[in-house]
Structure 1
Amino acid sequence: MLKPLYLTTGTAGRLVVCLMVLLVVSGCSRQVRWMHPTPSKELLLKAMTDLHGFHVYSGVDTRDNSLLSREDAQKMLADNSLINSDTPNFMFVSFSGNEVSIVGYNQYFRPETQDYRSPMIYRYRGQLKRAVYSLPHMAPVSGDLTVTSKPIENVQLWLINEQKTAYPDFNGTLKFQAWSGEYFDINAYTTKSWDYIF
């Protein structure tokens, strides 16, 4: 005669945990990784190649270089009185060895002490140290990179409305944004509050 099977509380708990693990593992797609991959040298070279040069932005995550010529943008950086409310955001990015130089214009920046947004010209130069996937659990499908750099020169903002220079709290962490396999933008945020700088 078969004896009925009785489970103690501890045994039942372990059985439930084992079943849950089996369900999760069996339901996972190939995108789930046990170890987070490191971006390859080829990917970093692609990111730098895509980002090197002049970029104009018509909105969030939209690049459109037909909106402004390189020559006009350079004139605006030299004489910010040429900038008006219709001027699109733009950026010059240059990589040389492991150094990055970024100069650009952004319509919106809000200093901590002000309630309104101010247009600005920004400059940054840093030494690239390392890069990791911004969303490692989705890599390499989502190719956004978080890049650590050591500032050679601190981020400098020329606030156009105020006609003054500001130096935001920034530690050199940059975000290389990718879309459909192409890197199209670089972003920087303040260290503590993660406020958007450029």
Structure 2
Amino acid sequence: MSVIVVEFLTLDGVVEDPDGSGGTATGGWAFRHGPEAVAGDKFRLGTLLETGTLLLGRKTWELFSKIWPGRTDEFSVRLNNAAKLVASTTLTDVSAWQNSTLLHGDLVAGVERHEGDIIVIGSLGIAQTLARHGLVDEYRLLVFPTAVGAGRRLFESPADLTLESTTRVGAAILSTYRTR
């Protein structure tokens, strides 16, 4: 089992509000580079969408459950068909997006007992909690040529990572890092 965290990121390390849906003063920075900058399988998830499980927090799941179900392009179909775990203490119904299941109980314990790969998309609080417990194996970061100066950052403390690969993806750079 691997835990893979995928995030949109600015040059100054901000992950908060890349699409502007959070209403922050600096939000929408990823979309300033055009819709093609974020469309499709930019994180090179490939077959992980078929074999792994997406792990989403409540806010990310609520946003995605409004965006993705109506789309029919190849990537959207694969994303819609993927198994999804939703970490939430307030949601009781996740039927709005197919193959979604609530993660009951403790997040860390749930991830530790899960069989198969887990892909955390967005969901900053989940990514940070799993990192604090040493459970993140890989980061796939789509770094945009934008600095916003303020906002929540992915890394709460220093992290030593090993660069595995970099690839230009439109206006951004996809960098993959291993933690162990």
Larger radius of gyration: 1
TM-score for the superposition, normalised by structure 1: 0.28
Q: Between Structure 1 and Structure 2, which shows a larger proportion of strand residues? A: 1
* Larger RCO, structure (CA 8 Å, separation 6 or more): 2
TM-score w.r.t. the length of structure 2 is 0.30
